[in-house]
């Protein structure tokens, strides 16, 4: 290992461990300057954690408002300690926060927290994900009646659809709009959530169970005709085609489907 590599290794270890006091790194540093070297080295070690906590807080400001600054910052500090950044772009540093919250005590006993983090992450991802043309209702006007059954759909790249087991979306909305925050609830039936970008704005709403099922199947290339058949086994069969058509109109109007 070169001398430079050795120095960098020591310096990095020192920043990551954050231990104060005299050690090997201190001995490498010139102490001719006015301020004590331990104090000046502290600028690096202190700034490291504070900066990463700030990144996590910026990405999850509603979760921070929900948890309270103190609990959030303690949690973020634990996240930073267990997750050294490996991305050159700080934009993706907090990506593993939902998983961390879902797996780590005591946060995992409040499952709404991981789900709120998951919502925020999906919205942040929708915000700057790749651009793609959107399929419009008008685009379907030209489809001949006999071709409808074979019609297939492609989700816009901003879309993510996942299930929540708590009322995380209701909590998130209340926090965001400064309303009374509902008590956390665990649901017997999971509640699907869809996040996407409409024009340039990240959006979120619930899907009902049938809509979620159809979205999931449609996203993996199942054609319109088959979706109608699936819908018929789900609920009143004679209305199935109309229901699928109305879901489809909703998706098209919201810009959830790509060209």
Partner 1 sequence: MSRSLRAAREKDAGSSRSEQGPAIDFAKPAFLGFGLGLRSEHYSEIFEHNPPVDWFEVLSENFMVPGGSPLRNLDRVRLDYPVVMHGVSLSIASTGELNWDYLRDLKSLAVRLEPAWISDHLCWTGVHDVNLHDLLPIPYTEEALRHISSRIHQVQDYLGRALVLENVSTYVEFSESEMPEWEFLAELSRSTGCWLLLDLNNVYVNARNHGYDAVRFLDGVPADRVVQFHLAGHSDMGDYLIDTHDHPVCEEVFELYRMALHRFGPVSTMIERDDKIPPLRELVAELDRARRIAGDLLPARPLPGAQDRQDGNIGSV
Q: Report d(CA 61, CA 54) in Å as an integer.
A: 10
Q: Least separation, in Å, of the C-beta of 58 and partner 1?
A: 12
| Residue reference for tokens 């999931």 | 216
Strand-pairing partners, residue 200, are: none
Q: Is 11 in the site for partner 1 (CB under 8 A)?
A: yes
Among 74, 91, 136, 220, interactor with partner 1 by CB under 8 A: 91
DSSP for 58-89, written as a single string: HHTHHHHHHH-HHHHHHHHHHHHHH-----SS
Q: Is 200 in the site for partner 1 (CB under 8 A)?
A: yes
User: Shortest approach of partner 1 to residue 49 CB, angstroms?
Assistant: 10
Judged by CB under 8 A, which of 86, 177, 178, 189 binds partner 1?
A: 86
21 binds partner 1 (CB under 8 A): no
Helix/strand/coil for 160: strand
CA-closest candidate to residue 218, choices 188, 166, 258: 258
Stretch that binds partner 1, among 40-48, 102-110, 212-220, 245-253 (CB under 8 A): 40-48
**To the nearest whole angstrom, how small is the minimum distance from the Cβ of residue 139 to partner 1?**
21
**Binding residue for partner 1, selected from 9, 82, 246, 253, defined by CB under 8 A:** 9
CA atoms within 13 A on the CB side of 224: 20
Q: How many CB atoms lie within 10 A of CB 161?
A: 18
CB of 148 to partner 1, least distance (A): 31
Alpha-carbon distance of 190 to 212, in angstroms, equals 11
Dist. CA 195–CA 142, nearest whole Å: 29
C-beta of residue 135 within 8 angstroms of C-beta of residue 209: no
34 near partner 1, rule: CB under 8 A: yes
Q: Which residue stretch of 56-64, 88-96, 173-181, 220-228 sits at the interface with partner 1 (rule: CB under 8 A)? A: 88-96
Residues that bind partner 1 (CB under 8 A): 2-5, 7-9, 11-12, 15-16, 28-30, 32-37, 39-41, 43-44, 47-48, 51-52, 55, 84-91, 93, 126-131, 157-158, 197, 200
């Amino acid at each position: 290992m070169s001398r430079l590599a050795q120095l960098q290794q020591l310096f990095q270890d020192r920043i990551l461990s954050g231990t104060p006091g005299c050690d090997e790194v201190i001995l490498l540093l010139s102490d001719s300057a006015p301020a004590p070297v331990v104090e000046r080295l502290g600028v690096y070690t202190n700034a490291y954690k504070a900066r990463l906590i700030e990144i996590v807080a910026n990405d999850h400001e509603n979760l921070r408002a929900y948890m309270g600054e103190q609990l959030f910052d303690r949690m973020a500090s634990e996240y930073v300690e267990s997750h050294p950044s490996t991305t050159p772009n700080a934009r993706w540093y907090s990506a593993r926060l939902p998983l961390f919250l879902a797996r780590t005590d005591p946060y995992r006993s409040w499952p709404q927290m991981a789900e709120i983090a998951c919502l925020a992450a999906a919205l942040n991802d929708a915000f700057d994900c790749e651009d793609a043309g959107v399929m419009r209702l008008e685009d379907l006007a030209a489809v001949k009646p006999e071709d409808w059954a074979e019609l297939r759909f492609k989700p816009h790249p901003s879309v993510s659809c996942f299930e929540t087991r708590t009322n995380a979306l209701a909590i998130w909305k209340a926090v965001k709009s400064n309303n009374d925050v509902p008590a956390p609830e665990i649901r017997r039936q999971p509640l699907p959530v869809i996040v996407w970008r409409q024009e340039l704005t990240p959006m979120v709403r619930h899907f009902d169970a049938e809509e979620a099922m159809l979205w999931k199947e449609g996203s993996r290339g199942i054609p319109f005709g088959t979706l109608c058949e699936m819908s018929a086994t789900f609920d009143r069969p004679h209305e199935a085609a109309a229901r699928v058509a109305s879901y489809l109109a909703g998706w098209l109007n919201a810009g959830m489907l790509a060209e």
